[in-house]
């Protein structure tokens, strides 16, 4: 887990996220938080224990998990992904299963907070897998890995 040096600023980090990683992020200048709105980028959030199992499942399949954020205080992980209309419009059985697993999909327009190189931000969120380019797996790939880790959607 690589963290940005404190010599980076929220602005320089945000430029990196935008130019190199294709994340349409902005800096909240009052807080130093780096934010993006779900839309062209999606997110799926789950308990950290399940997140680690999903990461291992994707590695077993020789697939990159893509950018993954740890929410330190809550012990949750968020996987950034490509939105997938088919997966998002799935039947209620899927959403019931996700609810029981304490997994949520960020709705379009939801705010996604990214790790920022400020001391305050690093207490709340850190990269498990930092973005290095524009790659993000589809939501469907991440959902499939969750299903494999939890016995499916029954």
pLDDT tens, 67-87? 999 999 999 999 999 987 666
Residue 90 has a pLDDT of: 63
Strand order in the sheet with 33-37: 26-28, 33-37, 111-114
pLDDT tens, 1-59? 455 444 689 999 999 999 999 999 999 988 889 999 999 999 999 999 999 999 999 99
More confident residue, 147 or 83: 147
pLDDT at 104 over 50: yes
pLDDT at 91 over 70: no
- The residue extents of the domains of the chain are 10-150
pTM of the entire predicted model: 0.89
Band the pLDDT of 89: cuts 50, 70, 90.
low
Residue 27 has a pLDDT of: 96
d(CA 131, CA 16) in angstroms, rounded, equals 10
pLDDT tens, 123-136? 899 999 999 999 99
């Amino acid at each position: 887990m690589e963290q940005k040096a404190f010599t980076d600023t929220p602005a320089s980090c945000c430029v990196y996220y935008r130019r190199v990683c294709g994340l349409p992020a902005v800096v909240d200048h009052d807080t130093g938080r780096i934010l993006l709105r779900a839309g062209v980028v999606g997110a799926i959030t789950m308990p950290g224990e399940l997140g680690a199992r999903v990461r291992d499942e994707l590695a077993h399949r020789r697939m990159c998990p893509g950018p993954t954020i740890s929410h330190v205080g809550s012990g949750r992980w968020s996987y950034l992904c490509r939105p997938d209309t088919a997966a998002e419009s799935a039947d209620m059985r899927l959403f019931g299963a996700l609810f029981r697993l304490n997994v949520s999909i960020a709705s379009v327009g939801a705010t996604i907070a990214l790790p920022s190189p400020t001391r305050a931000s690093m207490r709340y969120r850190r990269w498990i897998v930092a973005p290095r380019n524009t790659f993000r797996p589809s939501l469907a790939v991440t959902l499939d890995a969750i299903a494999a880790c939890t016995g499916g959607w029954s």
